[in-house]
Amino acid sequence: MKSKKSIIQSAISTLELEAAAILNVARNINNDFEKIVLSILEGKGRVIVTGIGKSAIIAQKMVATFNSTGTPAIFMHAADAIHGDLGMIQVDDIVICLSKSGNTPEIKVLVPLLKTSNNLLIGMVGELNSFLAEQADLILNTSFEKEACPHNLAPTTSTTAQLALGDALAICLLECREFNEADFAKYHPGGSLGKKLYLKARDLALSNEKPSISPSASVKDVLIEISKNRLGAVAVVDAANQVLGVITDGDIRRMLENNDSIAGLKAEDIMGRTPKSIQFDALAVEALDIIKQNNITQLLVLEQNTYFGIIHLHDLLNEGIV
């Protein structure tokens, strides 16, 4: 069994080998890469990504990244392709074929079939003297020194190189399309990621009560309003619904600590006069930033200059924004 030191060294060696492979891929970026990006941008079809074995798994990840960043893509398993899945390829589609060696039996069967359809064929390949490299119209070079596997067998360094180059291609396409956060939100409506990109402050405020009170209200009325709405705060507003201040649980505690008698106190006497706020159409994630920066748990929401509602830190937690 390996010692602790040798285990750690093994991990470091693996990462160093894979990092070196990525740097080598970066050095091999050439005019073919630019032509591929422009061909995809100018094309009217989809990107079909295919491979076999571990390369097929990387191909699936590439397709997921393409689709989520504005480049329509479909995965086609190389083995299934020769049993009917070739029918998914349309006239204007571009095919990217991933292979470490470029010489596997499945690739040698598939490539000639792909060539007959006259679709642009891109080979992402580690061996430039291989069958795939010779037949492809354009090359994405993922050549590497050796696998991280001590037997130089298990695909490790080779798949890392493929993964990194696929990401580079997707990001170049994203930037060329000027794909922005709003576009990203359209493709990621679910989960915390999507919510960070589309959930607004108003969406959270609307799910809460809207506690408010006049500046002349008694402390008793303030306590009732805070307790009734369970947000730990109440907005102090004038007749035009303009925010004058806010009273929180903390303000109540400080009032009790600093006053022997509260009989004559009013809301305006204990309110905070510079409450933190956010516009109702701002993103919820911006509300979180304000709450974190100011170490508070409630945030007033405004529509222009009028009171719209309150967001509590728990609202953001419940939505998975934090």
Indicate the annotated binding residues: 77
C-alpha–C-alpha distance, residues 289 and 281, integer Å: 15
Residue ranges for the known binding site for Zn(2+) are 77
Task: Answer left, alpha or beta for residue 216, where phi above 0 means left and psi between -120 and 50 means alpha.
Answer: alpha
Burial bucket for residue 308 (CB in 10 Å: 0-12, 13-18, 19+): buried
Report the SS3 class of residue 244: strand
Report the SS3 class of residue 246: strand
C-alpha–C-alpha distance, residues 210 and 163, integer Å: 50
CA angle 127, 128, 134 (to 5 degrees): 120
Encode burial over 1-21: b for 16+ CB neighbours within 10 A, e otherwise.
Answer: eeeeeeeeeeeeebeebbeeb
CB 36 within 8 A of CB 140: yes
